[in-house]
Amino acid sequence: MNYNRLTSKHKNSLREMVSKDRFSTGESNLNLHSKDQSHHPPSMPEAVIWPVDRFEVSEILKYANKNLIPITGWGSGSSLEGNPIPVRGGIVLDFSQMNRIIDIREKDFQADVEPGVIYQDLNEKLKYSGLFFPPDPGARATIGGIIANNSSGTRTVHYGSAKDYVMRLSVVLADGSYIKTGTRASKTSSGYDLIHLLVGSEGTLGIVVEATLKLTGLPQELSAAIATFPNITDAGKAVYQIRRYGLDPAALELLSTECIELINNKKGLGLTAAPTLFIEFHGPSVTYLSEALKMAQEICNDSGCTEFRSGLGRDERDRLFEARHELAEMIFQNHPDCNVQILDVAVPITGYTSMISKAREITDAAGLTGYALSHAGDGNIHLCLAGKKGNRKDWDLIDKISHEMVAEALSLGGTATGEHGVGIGKKQYMADEHGDSLEWMKKIKKLFDPNHILNPGKMF
């Protein structure tokens, strides 16, 4: 697709669509919107616009569509596959000023929000209602970004992904037209499910300007445990057995020795430096939780666990999960001269042990420092590899490892991307993963966005 570069005429027209202070071509703004938290190389947009309502979004898209100008939506830039990097230039739409929590309907377990709302802010506001929005990708992700990437996180093993929490969407399409889709009823079998088509489409089919989210009740009780293992394979076996015996953890995270050492270092948690499971249960009563933890302990012991600390209270649990959420950032800081690739694959749970062992094995063989952290209960594995910036040898090796990991995940019936989306990094695996159905995804893209102005260079 041949896009037009922004001319002065374009810029003047666009500037007039919004107030002057919400249109920028300033270097620092362009810079800020040229990169996300991934290792993918930055690419500058030609302008950044901060819309405040759907009418502005419509007008901008209509204009961009007519003038063949790329449009890339922007939440907080916390994504990990280059999803919002404007690789073809054009306009970045930054939604930080569309961040109103429009309505909380506590009694219906629903909230209407704009895409720029930070999910932690929503949960903070919901705190006293006893409700929350479960997907927790970490960082300060926005609802718009969470919807675009079908994000999930540590609680997905019990609560599900973003796709399970979106009831209604208001969307501006490529030509500037506006649709509302979905229902406020808790279930429907009316018409095609456009909601799920849009969730996870990474802003390539339309731009979400409002969402009705399903909320759920905060757990009545919670309790957590830490289990330490002599090696990552034994830890992986425990994960599989916990799932296999039908225990229903609210979080089941596996961290490699390198991760634990880093956490100890930065947070002084004094954990045993070995492969470690964080296990959390949510439940209706203390009795229920202690039963679940007891079963988890038995399973871990049978899998070779060397240390099991149970019954962690809310404070200690919060410190652990805070550290878990900050881990990516800690890894970045630990390698200031490097870029870090956070590989994201997911496999059926029977494949988990072999997948996590393979990660260990190929990282060791390559002589690299690899941080394996994983939403283990979902069979979702992240392998973080640091490569010196611009060092061809490092990055060839990292690419090779990525290919091997993805190939292994796909051969086990899994996916090339569990929660980070396709973005730039996973495009190359789409054909292998989706086969002939990829052509239909492309046809849908063409139907919704015939000029390919929406987030070009991603997904396909």
Applying the rule CB under 8 A, the residues between 174 and 213 that interact with a copy of itself are 177-181, 183-197, 199-201, 205
- 108 in contact with a copy of itself (CB under 8 A): yes
CB of 350 to a copy of itself, least distance (A): 5
CB of 158 to a copy of itself, least distance (A): 11
CB of 199 to a copy of itself, least distance (A): 7
CB neighbour burial string for 1-29, b if at least 16 within 10 angstroms, e if fewer: eebeebeeebeeebbebbeeebbbeeeeb
Distance CA 280, CA 251 (A): 5
CB of 108 to a copy of itself, least distance (A): 4
Which stretch, 17-25, 30-38, 55-63, 407-415, contacts a copy of itself (CB under 8 A)? 407-415
- Residue 452's SS3 state is coil
- 455 in contact with a copy of itself (CB under 8 A): no
Residue selected from 203, 370, 421, 456 as contacting a copy of itself according to rule CB under 8 A: 421
CB of 196 to a copy of itself, least distance (A): 3
| 456: nearest Cα among 115, 83, 194 | 83
Distance CA 66, CA 64 (A): 5
Select 260 or 381, whichever has its Cβ closest to a copy of itself. Answer: 381
- 264 in contact with a copy of itself (CB under 8 A): no
Site for a copy of itself in 139-168 (CB under 8 A): 149-152, 156-157, 161, 163-164
CA angle 137, 139, 144 (to 5 degrees): 65
CB of 21 to a copy of itself, least distance (A): 32
CB neighbour burial string for 139-157, b if at least 16 within 10 angstroms, e if fewer: bebbbbbbbbbbbbbbbbb
How many C-beta neighbours within 10 Å does residue 190 have?
9
Please name the residues in contact with 357: beta carbons below 8 A apart, sequence gap of 6 or more. 232, 233, 236
Select 12 or 186, whichever has its Cβ closest to a copy of itself. Answer: 186
CB of 49 to a copy of itself, least distance (A): 24
Q: Which residues pair with 340 in a beta bridge?
A: 386
DSSP string, 314-375: HHHHHHHHHHHHHHHHHHHHH-TTEEEEEEEEE--GGGHHHHHHHHHHHHHHHT--EEEEEE
- 348 in contact with a copy of itself (CB under 8 A): yes
Which stretch, 24-32, 36-44, 227-235, 419-427, contacts a copy of itself (CB under 8 A)? 419-427
Token pair for residue 43? Answer: 């690419």
- 283 in contact with a copy of itself (CB under 8 A): yes
Residue selected from 358, 426, 452, 458 as contacting a copy of itself according to rule CB under 8 A: 426
Select 20 or 107, whichever has its Cβ closest to a copy of itself. Answer: 107
Distance CA 329, CA 331 (A): 5
Select 317 or 426, whichever has its Cβ closest to a copy of itself. Answer: 426
For the chain, counts of helices (H) and of strands (E): 15, 18
Site for a copy of itself in 230-249 (CB under 8 A): 240, 243-244, 246, 248
CB of 411 to a copy of itself, least distance (A): 11
Distance CA 367, CA 390 (A): 18
Size of the site for a copy of itself (CB under 8 A): 89
